[in-house]
Every structure is written in C-alpha cells, then in structure tokens.
Amino acid sequence: MVTKGYNLYKSLIVNILINMKNINACRQRFVVKAVTLFLSIKGRVNFQQLGRYGKYSEQRYRIQFEKPFDFMEFNCSLVREHASGHYIIALDPSFIAKSGRQTPGIGYFWSGQAARTKRGLEMLGMAAIDVDNHTGFHLDACQTLTGNHPDRSLAGIYADCFTGHSEKLSELSRVAVADAWFTKKSFIDAVCGAGFQFVGRMRDDANLKYLYTGPQKPGRGRPRVYDSKVNHQDIKTEHFPEVVLEDGTLATTAVVYAVSLRRKVRVVRVPFDKKHRLYFSTDTEMDAATIVRYYRLRFQIEFIYRDAKQFTGLENCQARSENKLDSHFNMALTATNVAKVAHWISIPKKERGAFSIADIKTMNHNALLMDRFFSTFGVNPHLRKNQKHVKELLLYGTIAA
C-alpha cells in the first residue's frame, strides 16, 4: 500500500474483530475491505461501485451485507479502546432519502433539513458522545419500521430500540440525552426503567409545580407535596437560585414536579433572546452546568450524520432487504468512526486541528488509484526517490493539508 492509512484501518478493525464471536478470517478480510472502500470511493457508495473499486464481485458484497453483523459490539469496543472514557449516550432519528415502493420501512418521516415530512426511510441512531474530546462516535442504527408495529407509537418504537441495546450502552454510560421531541412520558419511563438518567429539553411554557417545603398540617391525611404552579413570567427566586454555567451565562435552577412526565426533575432556565430555554434531567442531583453541557454536546451526533451523508454514502444503498439496509447504514456510519480514530483521536489533544473527513476521503481515493497504477505499471512506491512524488500525489486535492 502507498499509504499508512490503509494499514492503520486494518490493524484497528482486526484487533476488535478477533475478540468478536462468529467472525472468521474470511469475514475479517471482507469487513476491512468494505470499511476501506467506504472511506475511499468518490461519489455514490453502493454495491455496483464497491464491485468496481473492490477486489470482490458486486454479488459478493450483496451476499455479505445480507449477513448479520454486531455493529454495536464493534463500535463499543472501538470507543472503549481509543476514546477518553467519559461518555453520554445520544439518540437522534435521521431521515434517509429513498425512492421505490417495495423497500421495507418506506413511509413519510420528518426531515430536519427540509423542515417538512418527506417520503423515504428513517433510522434511529445511537452515539457515544466523548465529553472530554468534544466529539461523537456512532454505536448502532435501527431502521424505523412502523409497519411492523402498527399498535405502537413512534416514541414506543424508539424506546424499544433503546432498551434492546441497554445492556451494551450501560457499559459506556448511564446518561442518555436527546432533543425536545423525546420529552415524552412513555419514552422517559422506558429509559429510566432500563437504569439510565435522561437529559433533555422541555417546552418553554412547560407545566411545572414547585415542591412544597413548608410546615405540614397536624393530624391525619396525606402530607402536602406540591406547591403552586410555576409561572415562567414571574418565578419564585427562593426556589430558583442563580448558577453560573461553563460559558459564564447566569442561569437559574430548581427541582420541580413535571406534570406531563409525572416525576420530579431538575430544570435549568437559561436566558435566550429575551426569553428562556428549559433544560432538565431526571437525576435531581445533577448540577445545572452539567445538564446544559450534556444537552449541548448532543449536537455532536448531527455531525456524524452529516459526514456519513456527504462522504461515506449513508443514503446511497440500492437494496430492498432489511438486513442489507441495516448493514449499509451502520457500515457508512462506522467508517466515520474508524477514520476519526485513525486520523484524529490518536493525535495529542493540543496538536489536533479540525476533523476533516473530506480530506481523508480525498487521500484515500488518491491512494486507491495510485495502488492500482503502481501495481499495473510495476512501480515501487517505497523507493526513496519516489517518496516525494508519492506524498505529493496523496495530498493532491486536499483542503487542509
């Protein structure tokens, strides 16, 4: 190979696969080759393109993608070995553009980019957000199959997906974070029932009640638990003490009763554009600065989707099989993990620049073509006199290099 990147990808992947069950040498070679191609092919990444650029036929890629693979175990192992150790679990659905009538799971889903409902596919992604390194790593993606659960709400389907992976997720973190859509009693009850604490955001006018702290009436009867309703235009300062967030913002926080969730939560009121935003945690002992920090870090999962859609072909799968779609979604997202570990997280924190998967993709594509040219024309790229030219060709077309 003319680039160290390919050998680094291979060592990263094989070191994890040798500890996974039911992964033989043939499967190992295939996974290494597939991930490398997802990080090397310019343009669309589908079975036809994999067959053109790879060493296997198109049919073999189709057959191998039909076989199940434990991406959750693979990515959890990758994160544990190379990230900081301080994580939160982020959840977020993502719309996948897809045409056709026979594709399983096709329907109408919300597209944040278009700000409207569109016809296509949807997946619920779970990611480990590395708090210390301020980045995210994909763990697993589950396709939203509403037709398979006609009696379940969308929140219930998401909750089943999360709780189905709760054992593996709990090995990384016991804190889950998601955007305001997930602030629903059924979903939060499922998350907390699986042993997690949830951090999210409420409506700015959420129905909250103060906790009663005054003297109780003597005699029989249930003790008084709740006080008056929280008036967001005129909060009681004795209940909402001021706190300073990490960025210096002055906010207020209190433990209150959330009527819609039917549980006590800690809320943080953060000023925003002459109004306020309400962040909360089901862990009433969590401090206000941590709640806001965790929620803001949730957005790192969006960068994972952006990179996978723009550079590793997340939306390019042309299959109509649930297994093939699942393998393609997770392979595209897992490839971003491998690139991040190989080219960014391994660099000392003070020396890191911006993570540019565009440059990584360009260099890998150059290396893929050069490897084919050198093998065809019998040129040895490892000779000292060729090193300068090889490096120049590898960096051709990169932005940051």
Per-residue three-class SS string for the chain: CCCHHHHHHHHHHHHHHCCCCCCCHHHHHHHHHHHHHHCCCCCCCCHHHHHHHCCCCHHHHHHHHHCCCCHHHHHHHHHHHHCCCCEEEEEEEEEEECCCCCCCCCEEEEECCCCEEEEEEEEEEEEEEECCCCEEEEEEEEECCHHHCCCCCHHHHHHHHHHHCHHHHHCCCCEEECCHHHCCHHHHHHHHHCCCEEEEEECCCCCEEEECCCCCCCCCCCCCCEEEECCCCCCCCCCCCEEECCCCCEEEEEEEEECCCCEEEEEEEEEECCEEEEEEECCCCCCHHHHHHHHHHCCHHHHHHHHHHHHCCCCCCCCCCHHHHHHHHHHHHHHHHHHHHHHHHCCCHHHCCCCCHHHHHHHHHHHHHHHHHHHHHCCCCCCHHHHHHHHHHHCCCCCCC
pLDDT at residue 182 in the model: 97
Contact 317, 330 (CB under 8 A): no
Alpha-carbon distance of 128 to 89, in angstroms, equals: 5
- Beta pairing class for 175-177 and 135-143: unpaired
pLDDT at residue 335 in the model: 96
Contact 14, 28 (CB under 8 A): yes
| Structure confidence by residue, pLDDT tens digits, 159-169 | 999 999 999 99
Single-letter residue type at 228: S
pLDDT at residue 1 in the model: 39
Q: Per-block average pLDDT, block size 10, for the chain (401 residues)?
A: 68 94 92 94 92 92 95 96 95 92 90 92 96 96 85 91 95 96 96 97 94 84 87 90 93 95 96 92 96 96 95 92 95 96 88 85 82 68 66 62 46
pLDDT at residue 22 in the model: 87
Percent of the chain residues past pLDDT 90, beyond the cut: 68
pLDDT at residue 214 in the model: 81
0.85 exceeded by pTM: yes
